[in-house]
Amino acid sequence: RYPLMQKLVLNDTVLNLALINQRLKENGKTDAFERCLMSSNYLFASTFAFSSAMNYFLATWIVTSPSGTAAFNEELGKMTLYSYPMIAIPSMLMMFGIFYYIWRQVRAMTSLETEQIFHLK
């Protein structure tokens, strides 16, 4: 079993995994990096929990009319409008933060520069 973030982020077409793994072994940071991936996996899962809770909150707060009515359709449209600034944007920012956290940890644990971490074309 691998953390989901390992499948999403550690991609050999984007990252220089051979060099990253070599440096992690040289610096004795392999276990610390595995813990970093696991904690980022929990953070990633928390974005889905946040999204679910906010969707539930918005639905119970906005949608009060019975289904099939014109008022229900209006409320559903209003909920969709509010879902972008209240759910989608914060979730996206949290995910960017998680990717930034992983990138910073890779740099700190391997002492590699960004150009060495990523395959640049």
pLDDT 10s digits, 26-85? 999 999 999 999 999 999 999 999 999 999 999 999 999 999 999 999 999 999 999 999
9 CB-near residues (< 8 Å, 6+ apart)? 15, 40, 99, 102
pLDDT at position 111 is 94
What residues form DSSP beta bridges with 118? 15
Q: Is there a contact between 112 and 20 (Cβ–Cβ < 8 Å)?
A: yes
User: What is the gyration radius of the CA atoms in the chain, in angstroms?
Assistant: 20
> Which pLDDT value is given to residue 1?
65
